[in-house]
Structure 1
């Protein structure tokens, strides 16, 4: 279900001080990168991913691929950084960026 504008605004506010936890580089969205993004989304629910890809279209395709393969929503993009959100079934209060 797509996020509303108010939900995106709230997530952007919460994600402002986060640092990227995963970097997608020249090899694109590989299985190892997807596994790390899955783990980070399960633990933290709200993460930043850096896309070190030069072409704007390739960057957009990579962000769409991450969304489709992980079930995450893209809350914001600024430059090379994407802010992704996926609600956890049982969030861990010590790890979740939303509950801290």
Structure 2
């Protein structure tokens, strides 16, 4: 009986871990698409921001995300703003660009 209880609890924890992982991946994808949109707005302005300025703006925005993991991924994304700009200049959709960069699955 104890083995069955242990296995049941282990199974439930595994389901929670998988669900949490899927939710986190979705949040990271949404964060990437948000960074993509922010970079696009600053890059496509009449007087565009430099990549450095966009990086600074995105880094500041990263602090509003609720978890440290998402904030960290957002800051990681802010460090590759030139890559985002490359996708923007080629008119790549945010989801497609984030998929190619490995942030969406």
Q: Same fold by TM (over 0.5)?
A: no
Q: Higher helix share goes to which structure?
A: 2
- Of structures 1 and 2, the larger Rg is shown by 2
TM superposition score category, shorter chain reference: 0.3 to 0.5
Q: TM-score, normalised by structure 1?
A: 0.33
Q: TM-score, normalised by structure 2?
A: 0.32
Q: Higher strand share goes to which structure?
A: 1
